[in-house]
């Protein structure tokens, strides 16, 4: 679904917001990353190849929209928006490796290891993960949130208790019977953790109050879970061309997904319920979180 039909009651234009945030995030990423000509050139080419391959930039948009909800400035949130996109891109490069999901196609292009080889793809992922922390140190630091808080936030979301834990459970669950509880455990960690971290970082970059941070945490958690339920649905309803990545992979790999456990209709209902809970979490913002509302609505109805 195009974001153009998402102009909501408040007159907020989501398409314009997403276009502008994508341009400013891409410009900032270009500035933060070593150029393609920096030695060793192969690694910087590989890092930039996946980073600028055309991702939807939803996590940076969530950082910027969360900052806006707390009256923050884009310039303060930008290093954190770029840091989460670097973490996300690293996770996709590694996820696509033959040792993991073994995928040839991502963001509408051949995967990193297909172009640069497995060794460089592993290193490009490692380098983007490290780069994220370097970029995060460029953030200002705020009265309520120090650099330590910011680094801890990113490290926890991407570490062995969250993002990596989700991936481990996902790998170990392949071909096995998975319960709905176990599937939720995977989705919370593999997907929701980084989306929740994005919302929280946006708030922190605006020196948000404890109440606002709690609201953003609940919003990010529920939107993150809904995001993965929709991702599972799209895997069975869309084509590879529409998704820019291989469709039908979950079924082929005998991976547990919401549609495989509860069916398509129930999955759609669950995604809508989760989005409803995300909306509820925004109540403390008293109608000022228009970008977040529009984003949650868009993510529920997305088709890629
Ligand atoms: C450390 C070896 C090693 C691997 C880590 C953590 C990890 C690998 C992989 C998990 C990453 C993963 C595939 C999570 C699923 C989240 C998800 C739905 C990703 C797709 O996000 P989109 O749709 O992608 O936002 P674009 O390309 O638009 O940014």
CA distances from 94 to 67, 177, 241 (A): 29, 25, 21
Looking at ligand 1, which residue's alpha carbon is closest to its atom 3?
Answer: 94
Residue-level pLDDT at 175 = 83
CB 163: neighbour CB atoms within 10 A? 23
Tell me, what CATH number does 263's domain have? 1.10.600.10
Q: Which of 61, 91, 98, 238 to mutate to test the pocket of ligand 1 (most atoms within 8 A of CB)?
A: 91
- Tell me, in angstroms, the distance from the centre of ligand 1 to residue 29's CA: 19
Pocket of ligand 1 from Cβ distances under 6 Å: 55-56, 58, 88, 91-92, 94-95, 107, 163-164, 167, 190-191, 228, 231
Find all residues with CB under 8 Å of 147, minimum gap 6, and list them.
136, 137, 139, 141
Burial bucket for residue 264 (CB in 10 Å: 0-12, 13-18, 19+): middle
pLDDT tens for the chain, 304 residues: list them: 444 444 456 689 999 999 999 999 999 999 999 999 999 999 999 999 999 999 999 999 999 999 999 999 999 999 999 999 999 999 999 999 999 999 999 999 999 999 999 999 999 999 999 999 999 999 988 999 999 999 999 999 999 999 999 999 999 988 888 999 999 999 999 999 999 999 999 999 999 999 999 999 999 999 999 999 999 999 999 999 999 998 998 888 788 899 999 999 999 999 999 999 999 999 999 988 999 999 999 999 999 9
Range(s) of the domain holding residue 155: 3-301
Q: In degrees to the nearest 10, what's the CA dihedral of 2, 299, 22, 216?
A: 150
Residue-level pLDDT at 5 = 40
The three-state secondary structure class of 87 is helix
- Tell me, in angstroms, the distance from the centre of ligand 1 to residue 112's CA: 14
For residue 97, the ligand 1 atom closest to its alpha carbon is 2
* Count of the separate structural domains present in the chain: 1
Residue-level pLDDT at 29 = 98
Residue-level pLDDT at 255 = 84
Q: Is the peptide bond before 108 cis (omega within 30 degrees of 0)?
A: no
């Amino acid at each position: 679904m195009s974001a153009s039909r998402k102009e909501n009651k408040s007159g907020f234009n989501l398409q314009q917001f997403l276009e502008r945030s994508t341009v400013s995030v891409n410009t900032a990423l270009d500035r933060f990353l070593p150029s393609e000509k920096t030695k060793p050139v192969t690694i910087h080419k590989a890092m930039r190849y996946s980073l600028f391959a055309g991702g939807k930039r939803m996590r940076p948009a969530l950082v910027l929209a969360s900052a806006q909800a707390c009256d923050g400035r884009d310039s303060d949130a930008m290093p954190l928006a770029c840091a989460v996109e670097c973490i996300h891109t690293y996770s996709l490069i590694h996820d696509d490796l033959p040792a993991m999901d073994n995928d040839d196609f991502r963001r509408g292009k051949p995967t990193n290891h297909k172009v640069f080889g497995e060794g460089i793809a592993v290193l490009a992922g490692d380098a983007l993960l490290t780069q994220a922390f370097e970029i995060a140190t460029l953030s200002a630091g705020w009265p309520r949130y120090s650099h330590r808080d910011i680094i801890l936030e990113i490290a926890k979301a991407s570490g062995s208790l969250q993002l990596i834990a989700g991936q481990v459970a996902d790998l170990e669950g392949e071909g096995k019977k998975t319960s709905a509880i176990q599937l939720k455990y995977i989705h919370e960690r593999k997907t929701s953790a980084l989306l929740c971290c994005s919302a929280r970082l946006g708030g922190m970059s605006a020196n948000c109050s404890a109440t606002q941070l709690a609201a953003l945490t609940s919003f990010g958690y529920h939107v993150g879970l809904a995001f993965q339920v929709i991702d599972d649905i799209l895997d069975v309803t869309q084509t590879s061309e529409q998704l820019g990545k291989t469709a039908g992979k979950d079924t082929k790999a005998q991976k547990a997904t919401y549609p495989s456990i509860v069916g398509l209709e129930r999955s759609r209902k669950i995604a809508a319920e989760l989005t409803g809970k995300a909306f509820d979490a925004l109540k403390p913002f008293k109608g000022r979180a228009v970008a977040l509302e529009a984003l949650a609505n868009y993510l529920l109805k997305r088709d890629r």
